[in-house]
Amino acid sequence: MNTQEELFQNWFRRLQVIYFALLAGQFIAAATLRLVISPLSEPAGSPNIFIGLMAMLMIAGHVVFRKKIAGLVSLGTLSDRMNDYFVAFLLRAALSEAAVLIGLVAYHFICGDRVLYVATMVGLLNFLALLPQRAQVANQVGL
């Protein structure tokens, strides 16, 4: 039978694998778009709507995550807490990834404004900041 530490270690590895898979997808999309498609030579409009949408998605991800893990330590078994944390993390990561992908697509196909490209890179940095840290996650799930 697995101890709680072994259970957590295996679960945490899966969390990290999913995180790095999502991150790799964003880098592949960015590199592909950058190398294959040149952005519009003239901006076709204001990037403000896309920057606002990206910001809303990133903020929504953080809010959803915080609400879902609030009081998590006092809930059920360790396995239940880890599952709830996993769902909260996936929602947060998906919303943050969506912000980056929207920025990339809008920059290359719709707007072409450098400000949007910078905002997209800020979104990518935001996603990098989501890297699960073992001690922090262990504390949040109550291990």
More confidently predicted of 112 and 30: 30
pLDDT band with cut points at 50, 70 and 90 for residue 39: low
pTM here is: 0.85
User: How far is CA 113 from its chain centroid?
Assistant: 23
User: How many C-beta neighbours within 10 Å does residue 29 have?
Assistant: 16
- Report H helices in the chain: 4-36, 48-69, 78-105, 114-129, 134-141
Per-residue pLDDT tens digits for 40-57? 666 667 788 889 999 999
Per-residue pLDDT tens digits for 16-36? 999 999 999 999 998 888 888
Q: Is 89 exposed, middle or buried (0-12, 13-18, 19+ CB in 10 A)?
A: buried
Q: Is 87 exposed, middle or buried (0-12, 13-18, 19+ CB in 10 A)?
A: middle
Distance CA 54, CA 26 (A): 14
pLDDT band with cut points at 50, 70 and 90 for residue 96: very high
